């Protein structure tokens, strides 16, 4: 795996680069659609490949471990063959579930005991097992097992948690070095920076992670309820420490505005359920602001879903028709909005890249943020 940094914007820290993997190139900045259980919910492979066309998607270790199980995925020849996706895949380690399943888990130094949300059975994840499972799943980029702290979170807990994450990281690297490749392509481990919203902890964590000299580095524990300004502040603290020549991945972010602001701060990679989850609730993201398609104001609006035409659904259906699908609880409405939103997110990061390379990113971003902030 290799990363070429082509250009840094003169008036911000925005970057354009290319990550080279055995499953193809990833042009950065990039957004990764979330395919938690080896599927981007409600999206056919043909639509994902041809209409949304991301360079990389994300899947989740915890969910795949439970269903269909790592043995099934391994028997299929890895997650790429299992879902017939030919481009790169990144897997989250399951560390986020330490945060999201807080009522059903117990953290110890050794690892985390989970209660399955499916059948109530108990499972124990350690840094070592998280690496082994991910190597078996077969993603191109695998993530270290970490503890994602909640917000708000007191300083002492954030510090204790960060230090545990660092100790777990050491164990992840040891295990990763022991593992042999299951498949005929390389897999790369990204460590994760923690530290909640405390500048000194974030700086410490960024320094610790940078010293690992991994291929790329991730920033975790943000977009968990903190104000956007604090997210940007923490990103700025961390990117000032991280090596310039390695890709930077901000986990779980975010809104279209969050993406643009963090690209401006030097982030290269993003993932978030927002474009797909919010689509299923009738939220449509556009370059001119956000639409709640379920609102009555769209009942008699026969204009196209989005005349900017990010993908085929935009010119195939009217706002009135898509609203109608939601009022009758027809699943097609959710699919249409999901495909549109993901195609829009891909347009947004690719347009960002164009403007970084052209040298006018900041002026374009300033205009876009004003437009995106509108409720239509």
Secondary element (H or E) of residue 315: helix 312-316
Find the radius of gyration of the CA atoms of the chain.
20
Q: Return the structure tokens found at 199.
A: 């500048």
Predicted local confidence at residue 181, as pLDDT: 84
In order of their start, the domains of the chain are 33-244 (3.20.20.105), 280-376 (no CATH)
Reduced to 3 states (helix: H, G, I; strand: E, B; else coil), residue 364 is: helix
Give CA torsion, residues 58, 334, 341, 60, to 10 deg.
Answer: -10
Phi-psi label, residue 349: left if phi above 0, alpha if psi -120 to 50, beta otherwise: alpha
The answer to whether the pTM exceeds 0.95 is yes
Distance CA 60, CA 52 (A): 20
Distance CA 338, CA 284 (A): 8
The residue count of the chain comes to 376
Distance CA 236, CA 218 (A): 13
Residues acting as catalytic residues:
92, 271
Residue 130's CB is within 10 A of a number of other CB atoms, namely: 29
Residue 5's CB is within 10 A of a number of other CB atoms, namely: 15
Predicted local confidence at residue 98, as pLDDT: 63
Closest CA to 164 of 179, 149, 151, 177: 149
Give, rounded to a whole angstrom, the gap between the first and last alpha carbons of the chain. 43
* Bridge partners (DSSP) listed for residue 15: 8
Distance CA 137, CA 221 (A): 24
Average pLDDT per consecutive 10 residues, the chain (376 residues; last block may be shorter)? 97 98 98 97 97 98 96 98 98 77 83 89 94 97 93 95 97 96 95 97 98 98 93 98 98 97 98 97 98 98 98 98 98 98 98 98 98 98
Distance CA 311, CA 230 (A): 34
φ/ψ (deg, to 5) at 17: -150, -175
């Amino acid at each position: 795996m290799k990363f070429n940094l082509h250009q840094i914007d003169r008036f911000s820290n925005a970057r354009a680069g290319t990550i080279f993997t055995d499953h193809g190139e990833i042009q950065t900045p990039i957004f990764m659609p979330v395919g938690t259980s080896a599927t981007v919910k409600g999206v056919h492979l043909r639509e994902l490949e041809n209409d949304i066309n991301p360079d990389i998607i994300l899947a989740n270790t915890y969910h795949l471990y439970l269903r269909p199980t790592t043995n099934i995925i391994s028997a299929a020849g890895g997650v790429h063959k299992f879902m017939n996706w030919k481009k790169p895949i990144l897997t989250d380690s399951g560390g986020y579930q330490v945060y999201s399943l807080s009522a059903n888990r117990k953290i110890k130094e050794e690892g985390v005991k989970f209660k399955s949300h499916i059948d109530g059975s108990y499972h124990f994840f350690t840094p070592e097992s998280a690496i082994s499972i991910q190597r078996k799943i077969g993603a191109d980029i695998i993530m270290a097992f970490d503890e994602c702290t909640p917000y708000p979170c007191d300083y002492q807990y954030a510090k204790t948690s960060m230090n545990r994450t660092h100790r777990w990281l050491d164990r992840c690297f040891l295990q990763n070095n022991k593992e042999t490749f299951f498949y005929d392509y390389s897999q790369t481990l990204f460590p994760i920076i923690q530290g909640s919203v405390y500048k000194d902890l974030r700086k410490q964590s960024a320094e610790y992670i940078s010293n690992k000299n991994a291929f790329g580095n991730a920033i975790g524990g943000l977009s968990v309820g903190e104000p956007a300004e604090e997210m940007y502040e923490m990103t700025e603290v961390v990117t000032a420490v991280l090596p310039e020549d390695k890709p930077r991945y901000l986990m779980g972010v975010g809104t279209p505005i969050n993406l643009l602001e963090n690209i401006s701060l030097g982030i290269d990679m993003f993932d978030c359920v927002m474009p797909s989850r919010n689509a299923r609730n009738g939220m449509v993201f556009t370059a001119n602001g956000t639409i709640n398609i379920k609102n009555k104001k769209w009942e008699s609006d026969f204009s196209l879903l989005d005349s900017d035409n990010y993908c085929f659904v935009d010119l195939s259906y009217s706002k009135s028709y898509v609203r109608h699908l939601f009022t009758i609880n027809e699943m097609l409405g959710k699919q249409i909005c999901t495909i549109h939103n993901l195609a829009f997110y891909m347009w947004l990061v690719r347009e960002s890249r164009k403007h970084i390379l052209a040298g006018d990113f900041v002026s374009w971003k300033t205009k876009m943020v004003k437009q995106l902030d509108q409720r239509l």
